[in-house]
Amino acid sequence: MDIVYIKELEIQTVIGIYDWEREIRQTVSIDLDMATDIRPAAAAEDIAKTLDYKAVSKRLIGFIEEAEFLLIETMAEQIAAIVLSEFPVSWLRLRLGKPGAVTGARDVGVIIERGERPDRLPLI
């Protein structure tokens, strides 16, 4: 199994439980590893036969910019559901960060894995 990834995708959204957070847009940062088979695309030199990371990015940007979330955990689960249901991905690892949320920390967030984990993943 192969991994297609997106690293440090930054998106502005409404996220947080405090009243002041509900009135501003904050940056969230996404790292996404997605298990897929790239061999058909490589053999045919055809983007239609692979997982298009630009299409995934555009879908997530559109969704996250329009939605509002109380918890980063909720956002993570919804991102995973979109990717697994709309793209040829059997497993994913998502790191979702909220930079600046904790004074003194560069970033805080969650890491989740969803889907059927392949027996063999490339080392990254």
Active-site residue among 7, 54, 58, 98?
98
For residue 123, what pLDDT band results from cuts at 50, 70 and 90? low
The Cα–Cα gap between 111 and 122 comes to 18
What is the predicted pLDDT for the residue at 124? Answer: 58
DSSP letters spanning 78-104: HHHHHHHHHSS-SEEEEEEE-TTSSTT
Of the pLDDT bands very low, low, confident and very high (cuts 50, 70, 90), residue 117 is: confident
92: number of Cβ within 10 Å: 24
* Residue position matching structure tokens 């055809």: 46
- How does residue 121 score in pLDDT terms, banded at 50, 70 and 90? low
Residue 72 confidence (pLDDT): 98
Domains of the chain: 2-92+102-115 (3.30.1130.10)
Residue 86 has pLDDT above 80, yes or no: yes
User: Is 7 a known active-site residue?
Assistant: no
Rg for the chain, CA atoms, rounded? 16
